[in-house]
Structure 1
Amino acid sequence: MRLTLPFAPEKATKCNCSICRRIGGVWAYYEFGTVNVEGHPEHTAEYIWGDKTLRNLRCAHCGCSTHWEPLEPEAGARHGVNLNNFDPRLLEGVQVRRFDGADSWTYLD
């Protein structure tokens, strides 16, 4: 499976909700359909939870969490890509904001 970003992100989010905390993801957001995802769905496994609006995807071979996407994309929908799957140098120029998805649902910075 391979993800190709349409452009390098300037900002990303690190969330502390129950799933993001376990995954350890650093999420960059893109308009749905602009990230090229090769090998999906045949090489991915999904996890759907909570309000059942998003599917969290991981590589079916290595188990790494790769991205999330809306179950029913609408105009303006976006998906999140886990930047930890890319060369660490990509994160050097990215402002990573901390988000309290576990409690207040607000940014902590």
Structure 2
Amino acid sequence: MELSCHCGNVKITVAHSPEALTSCNCSTCNRYGSLWGYYTPNQVQLSFITDIAGTSVPATKAYRWGEEYIEFHHCQSCGCLTHYVTTDKVPDAKYGINFRMAPITKMKDIKVRHFDGADSWKYLD
């Protein structure tokens, strides 16, 4: 499955859809309105638009908050939040892919789970 930001600068390829997506209510995710699908780094392929010389255009800008366990990546061209990666502070590397970047037809049948990242750190369903 291929996902991309609005302008197409950032493309994300994953082999399969996740069983469920996570809607988190933490202070960051709540503002982003993201729906996360989780993968290991080897399950995700990122690609970016290249310039005429074939070198990668700086595609994303990262944002870290609080204890900096997660680095949120936004397209530098259109501003879409495309994904996050865990930082070196987390023992098991993980990618969170924002499935709001997927075609609606590809995500309509994926269950959405609600996670209380603002308080209890538990799924609410």
Task: Go from structure 1 to structure 2 and tell me whether the alpha carbon gap of 1:53 and 1:76 turns closer, same or farther (over 3 Å shift).
Answer: closer
Higher Rg = 2
Tell me: CA distance 1:73–1:30, structure 2 relative to 1, closer, same or farther (3 Å). Answer: farther
Q: Which amino acid in 2 is paired with 1:13?
A: T
Q: Which of residues 26, 35, 38 in structure 2 aligns to 1:26?
A: 35
Tell me if 1:96 matches 2:112: yes
Which residue identity lines up with residue 115 of structure 2 in the other structure?
F
Residue 107 of structure 1: SS of its match in structure 2? coil
C-alpha spacing 1:41/1:31, structure 2 compared with 1 (3 Å): farther
Shift of 1:101: 0.6
Q: Give the Å deviation of 1:32.
A: 1.6
Give the direction of change, closer, same or farther, for the CA distance of 1:41–1:81 in structure 2 (3 Å limit).
Answer: farther
Of 62, 80, 99, the residue aligned with 1:64 is 80
Aligned twin of 2:20: 11
Unmatched segments (≥5 aa) in structure 2 = 1-9, 49-55
Aligned partner of 1:107 in structure 2 is 123
Q: Please report how far the alpha carbon of residue 33 of structure 1 lies from its aligned counterpart in structure 2 after TM superposition.
A: 3.1
Q: 1:7, 1:101 → 2: CA distance?
A: 25
Distance 1:75 1:108, change over 3 A: closer
* 8 A Cα contact 1:14 1:96, kept in partner: yes
Q: Give me the CA root mean square deviation.
A: 1.9
Letter in 1 for 2:73: L
Give the letter aligned to residue 78 of structure 2.
C
Percent identical residues? 37
* Structure 1: runs of 5 or more not aligned: none
Deviates more, 1:37-46 or 1:76-85: 37-46
- SS in structure 1 of the partner of residue 118 of structure 2: coil
